[in-house]
A and B are shown apart, each in its own frame.
Chain A
Amino acid sequence: MPLSPFAGGGTVNGRRTFLRGFFSVLLSGGAIGGILKILPSKADAGEAPPKGQNWYGFGVSVDKCIGCARCMEACKSENNVPREPFFFRTWVERYILRKNGTTTVKAIAPNVEPSPETASDKSILRSFFVPKLCNQCASPPCVQVCPVGATFQTKDGVVLVNENTCIGCRYCIQACPYGARYLHPGTRTADKCTFCYHRISHGLLPACVEVCPTQARVFGDLNAAASPMSRFLRMNKIHVLKPGLNTEPKVYYASLDGEVR
């Protein structure tokens, strides 16, 4: 297998690997084995973090988020995400649940003060902000569908896109249940949150986590018992988004409302 150009490794498809696999299937009746491999061998196969190495996760405290949008701003600057409001690696949604049962949601825009009407408006039951980003699924549908292996999962559990081999077919954008991917208008390849892989592989925090004034965003190694991330998981009741789809997200939400999806 050719060495991955990405620190942390990962399974980047190689021509040699493909050919080797192709011929071994031909020679060994491997097709049967290949089909059997599709079946999940363990119920929680995707989630079990390999011991002795990093397995990154992300925590979001819905109660702490004040919707200041500094995370969105930081992400756009850090990762060269286009400034226009159609391309986001992370965004913050504002939920307003009213007493009559209706829910309104909108994505807040950076640099715009959130309107403070909630305190005076008596029809509002509750209102909160939900930061969203790539869920870095343990069983990522985007990796499954990428026809050329340009989207891949590193050994530490981060899903990345190799923009040098992505053909821009956008199958991964269709397969992502969280709307976390977009086609970068400059590179014409798929793009999404990388957990700021260039930062975390040097021991830094993702840009959005670093700028968050209320520590609503938490990042760390799920394998390390002492990391802020493990503490976050211990101290809160945790939910993930769309658990029914079996994508096993690694972005964990505390105080998540059932209305959020």
Chain B
Amino acid sequence: MNPELVHTLRELIPQIQGYIYPNEIEIHWGLLIVVYPYITGVVAGAFILASLVKVFNVKEVQPLYRLSLLTALAYLLVAPMALVSHLGHPERFYEILLTPQTSSAMAMFGFVYAWYLMAVLLLEIWFVHRTDMIEWAEHETGLMRHIHRALALYSRDTGDRSVAFDHKALKVITIVGIPSAFLLHGYVGFIFGSIKANPWWSSVLIPIVFLFSAIVSGIALVILLYMILTPLTGGKISMRCVDKAIDFLFYAVIVDFSLELVDFIHRVYQSEEEIKILSEMVMSKLFASLIIIQVLLGMLVPLTLISLTKIFKKRFHLNEDLRKMVYFVAVILIQFGIFATRWNVVIGGQMFSKSFRGLTTYKMEFGGIEGLLFAIFLLALPILILAVLTKILPPWKEMHGQPAPEGVEAAGS
């Protein structure tokens, strides 16, 4: 038995509104499961930003290319930690790989994850950095030299033919990678969207909304990192690059917002039996996180800010520093907005009873595996991993706008 849990549940009883099934007081998917789709979203979004450079040949955002690949990898490495530590039996996690139930969406997690990590992200990063690693190793001594040699798998060939092969491989991987990134996060959306017992989740639009919110959060995060890291490493922020990336972000937010709006209107218009309890939930339990943070602060305010810069940039030659500040505020707000989106989907979906007669409540713990501290640790960990990754595969040259190593530039054309 778990007296602590029972104590917590007892405290929740007075906050229950209406009638809920007696087993429903405990919210089973807590903060860690909120963190999980947020993290995979960043992965998918950052990768799609990188693909803009490669496939669609958007030269302006070239400085973000390597940074976004490394960001995607750093976040991808943390994604399963949130899942595994939330299990009732974390030590049995491997069962999902050895005896997967083929009818279960969740059983595919390991395979989708492995495919994305091994067949897409690691391969792309390797091909991008292969010639660089060989070159770096030549000028280095000590441990780093060995690391780079080993990471390059002891290849020494920088001849034209092998470089040409790198380019070709990169192109193929990116083309395979885009649907894979869609698969990764659309799949996370499908885990929720396919639960027919839960009308808050059960919608075909959910995977698509997940995808676009992923693109939004990934692009916004890479822009944020770029704006913080570039001055820190002695470079100058290229406004051409940021402007262009913000453009893409702007369109992605609009598509995301429209999709969520369509979903909302559709629910209200259909007005099925659950609509009363859902609207009660939105107006009471989710008001702050959904209306205020997700919609107002996370979408409408950044959309307005970016639109204003778009309007005034040309007309009044909006000051570059001011523009930078506006962008900075916008991308931070968007991060909070997307995190709130994940919160509202995951926690919101468990707050109303499947009897459609009542609402339960969620009390966030502070310590413990399901608590706030651990969640913050999981959110900070990718940044630490990214710091290590940038030591091993420094993206600074490219971020500072110096001519990119021959591999990347030619591959885009």
Residues of A at the B interface (CB closer than 8 Å) are 13-15, 18, 21, 34, 38, 82, 84-88, 91, 93, 104-107, 132, 141, 143-150, 165-171, 173-183, 185-186, 188-189, 245, 261
Q: How many pairs of residues, A versus B, come closer than 8 Å at their CB atoms?
A: 145
Interface residues of B in 63-114 (CB under 8 A from A): 86-89, 92-93, 95-96, 98-107, 109
Report chain A residues within 8 Å CB of B95.
Answer: 148, 150, 165, 167
**Beta-carbon contact of A167 and B87 below 8 Å:** yes
CA distance A185 to B10 in the complex (A): 14
Identify which of B24, B103, B191 contacts A179 (C-beta below 8 A): B24
- In the complex, residue of chain B having the shortest beta-carbon distance to the beta carbon of A107: B22
- Apart from A147-B96, A165-B92, A175-B195: 8 A-B pairs, beta carbons within 8 A: A18-B99, A105-B357, A167-B96, A168-B87, A170-B88, A179-B21, A181-B23, A185-B6
**Beta-carbon contact of B24 and A105 below 8 Å:** no
- Of the listed residues A38, A86, A147, A177, the one surrounded by the most CB atoms of chain B closer than 10 A to its CB is A147
* A18-B99, A147-B109, A179-B354 known; A170+B28 contact, CB < 8 A: yes
Report chain A residues within 8 Å CB of B349.
Answer: 174
SS class, residues of chain B in contact with chain A: loop
CA distance A141 to B95 in the complex (A): 20
Residues of B at the A interface (CB closer than 8 Å) are 1-2, 5-6, 9, 19-26, 28-29, 86-89, 92-93, 95-96, 98-107, 109, 191, 195-198, 349-350, 353-357
CA distance A178 to B21 in the complex (A): 8
- 20 A-B pairs within 8 Å (CB atoms) are namely A13-B99, A13-B100, A15-B98, A15-B99, A82-B6, A87-B23, A88-B22, A88-B23, A91-B21, A91-B22, A105-B19, A105-B355, A107-B21, A148-B92, A165-B95, A167-B89, A179-B24, A185-B2, A245-B196, A261-B355
Identify which of A18, A165, A170 contacts B29 (C-beta below 8 A): A170
**Beta-carbon contact of A168 and B23 below 8 Å:** no
Report chain B residues within 8 Å CB of A13.
Answer: 99-101
CA distance A181 to B25 in the complex (A): 12
Minimal beta-carbon separation of B1 from chain A (angstroms): 5
CA distance A88 to B22 in the complex (A): 7
Report chain B residues within 8 Å CB of A185.
Answer: 1-2, 5-6
Report chain A residues within 8 Å CB of B99.
Answer: 13-15, 18, 148-149, 165
* A87-B23, A88-B22, A182-B23 known; A148+B100 contact, CB < 8 A: yes
**Beta-carbon contact of A177 and B354 below 8 Å:** yes
**Beta-carbon contact of A149 and B101 below 8 Å:** yes
